[in-house]
Amino acid sequence: MDLKPNRKRIVNSIANVVFFGSLLLLIFSPDAKSWFLKQLISVGLFKAEITNKNPKGITPSFFVFEDEKGKMISTENLKGKVVFINFWASWCPPCRAEMSSLNKLYNEFKADDRLVFLFMNEDEDVQKAKIFLQSNHYTIPITTSGGNIPPEIFTGTLPTTIVLNKEGKIIMKHEGLAGYDSDGFVKELKELL
């Protein structure tokens, strides 16, 4: 009796189980999905770029946000500074995947008062976001919306990242996943300061 056909069938069956099991894991597990997306970011597949360095007058309406201390602040008060805004939620796999690069970017610039970071959390329960950040040792500050966000800034897509120049004009709007700690993106931000 020849065992080669049976062995080949068993190997193919195992390979199918592993493939489809991995696929189901990616579909149904936010942690697995965010891990996979993070790997794609790390190889440079999703790069952030500031391409609109000379905006044609797209100045969004001001909006109010609440900082971690509960203080309400208007973006109107941030003119003269570069503003980096990221909308995210702890349940969002692409948001979770890019969080490591956002944390690195924040840590590189946190002492520079010419740049303001607004990490706008969209969780219904902000405590979940705090737990997520703490469990991953991220140091980014959480901000939340204090009212309506202008549609030119945020339409509900997570993650969404905006960069405003010192005049308050939109020079970058990216909806979806990206890596923000690349040398190129850091250089572009420094040029704005």
Q: Which two tokens stand for residue 148?
A: 């309506």
In a domain, 49, yes or no: no
Domain count for the chain: 1
In a domain, 123, yes or no: yes
Q: What is the pLDDT of residue 2?
A: 56
In a domain, 27, yes or no: no
In a domain, 12, yes or no: no
CB 57 within 8 A of CB 165: no
- What does the alpha-carbon distance between residue 24 and residue 29 come to, in Å, rounded to a whole number? 8
In a domain, 167, yes or no: yes
In a domain, 145, yes or no: yes
Q: What is the extent of the structural domain holding 138?
A: 64-192
Alpha helix positions (H), 3-157: 4-28, 30-42, 93-109, 126-135
Q: What is the pLDDT of residue 99?
A: 96
Q: What is the pLDDT of residue 6?
A: 75
Tell me how far CA of residue 185 lies from CA of 48, 68, 180, 182, 190, in angstroms.
6, 26, 6, 5, 9
- Read off the CATH number of the domain in which 183 is found: 3.40.30.10
Query: Could you read off the pLDDT tens digit of each residue along the chain, which spans 193 residues?
Result: 555 667 777 777 777 777 766 666 667 777 777 777 777 777 666 777 777 665 555 677 889 999 988 999 999 999 999 999 999 999 999 999 999 999 999 999 999 999 999 999 999 999 999 999 999 999 999 999 988 899 989 999 999 999 999 988 899 999 999 999 999 999 999 999 9
In a domain, 184, yes or no: yes
In a domain, 30, yes or no: no
Tell me how far CA of residue 131 lies from CA of 54, 55, 90, 144, in angstroms.
39, 38, 9, 16
